[in-house]
Amino acid sequence: MAPVASVMVAAFLGGCVIDDAMTTPGRLIDPASGSPTNIASLTAVVESNPGDASAYNMRGTAFGRGNKLREALEDFDRAIEINPQYYQAYANRALVYRRMDNLNAALNDYNSALRINPTYDTALVGRGNIYRLQNQSDRALEDYNAAIRANSGDPRAYHNRALVYQSQDLHAFAVEDFGIAIGLDPQAPEPYNGRGVSYLATGDVEAALQDFNQALQIDKQYADAWSNRGLALEYQGDSNKARAAYNRALQLRPNYAPAKEGMARIDAGQPPVR
């Protein structure tokens, strides 16, 4: 079959991001860290150690995980006030700013973190993500490459570099980087979904469907993967299963445009765009 048109691929890139997670340090933090119980425990630590920057950084991380972004900013501000060389706190605050769509403030904080520690891979990946969001692909690639040189075991750098390659229709490179990311962190669903998009773009529907299924096996609430699965099933001519996949995506994200468009095609008896 013919490859999926680039415009169709672009529609599926938005959710394919492994976050440059707030660190203390470390990439993976249990979402339960944002629970009221854990925040209360960390507040006790802060109150017992009011001059400890790391205590504020830890609680700020928990606030961020609990989507209490204003409180997170206040804690990272305090951590940096106590220790202006605390590069992890700058990177954590940058991520909060990014989640608040304040990309300029995020970029400034990533730059601050990297002035203190030029090889801090979390900040390199985070700044690369800002550049990617600003369509500065060359700068993004520079940062992802630097992150890989600093820490070749960081799956985020490979995953996000793959997204740049994918946006440039360099799907062979994207598939390779997604594969490395999967090898480094096989329980992250995003690289499977991302690789599936590149497989779909090159016409390998079977491989794409396997990757979307694997992403959903890891995270059944992954709306992007449900919608992408629907598209792969459309290409296989299985409208009933495609409709079910799109329906599930819309249950999770009611206004998700690719899923709505897929449902509209099926309802109208139209083939998927190529």
Residue 126 and residue 20 in contact, taking contact as beta carbons nearer than 8 Å = yes
> Sorting pLDDT into bands at 50, 70 and 90, what band is 139?
very high
Residue boundaries of the structural domains of the chain: 1-18+189-274, 20-114, 118-187
Interval 76-104 mean pLDDT: 96
Residue pLDDT, tens place only, 238-267: 999 999 999 999 999 999 999 999 999 999
pLDDT at 31: 52
Q: Copy the structure tokens of residue 42.
A: 């960390």
**According to the model, what pLDDT value does residue 18 have?**
36
Would you list the DSSP string of 97-122? HHHTT-HHHHHHHHHHHHHH-TT-HH
Give the pLDDT confidence of 167-218 residue by residue, as tens digits.
999 999 999 999 999 999 999 999 999 999 999 999 999 999 999 999 999 9
Homologous superfamily in CATH for domain 1-18+189-274: Tetratricopeptide repeat domain (1.25.40.10)
- Check: CB of residue 209 under 8 Å from CB of residue 231: no
pLDDT at 65: 87
CATH number of 20-114: 1.25.40.10
pLDDT exceeds cutoff 80 at 17: no
pTM, whole model, 2 decimals? 0.86
Flag whether pLDDT at 8 surpasses 70: no
- Structure token pair of residue 40: 């209360």
**Fold of domain 118-187:** 1.25.40
Question: Is residue 27 over pLDDT 80?
Answer: no
Burial category of 267 from C-beta neighbours within 10 Å (exposed 0-12, middle 13-18, buried 19 and up): exposed
Write down the pLDDT at residue 33.
Answer: 65
Tens of pLDDT along 57-86? 999 999 998 889 999 999 999 999 999 999
Mean pLDDT, the chain, rounded, equals 89
Query: Identical fold at 1-18+189-274 and 20-114?
Result: yes
Q: What is the pLDDT of residues 206-245, one digit of tens each?
A: 999 999 999 999 999 999 999 999 999 999 999 999 999 9
Residue pair 133/99 in contact (Cβ under 8 Å)? The answer is no
Q: What is the mean pLDDT of residues 77-103?
A: 96
Residue 38 pLDDT level (bands cut at 50, 70, 90): confident
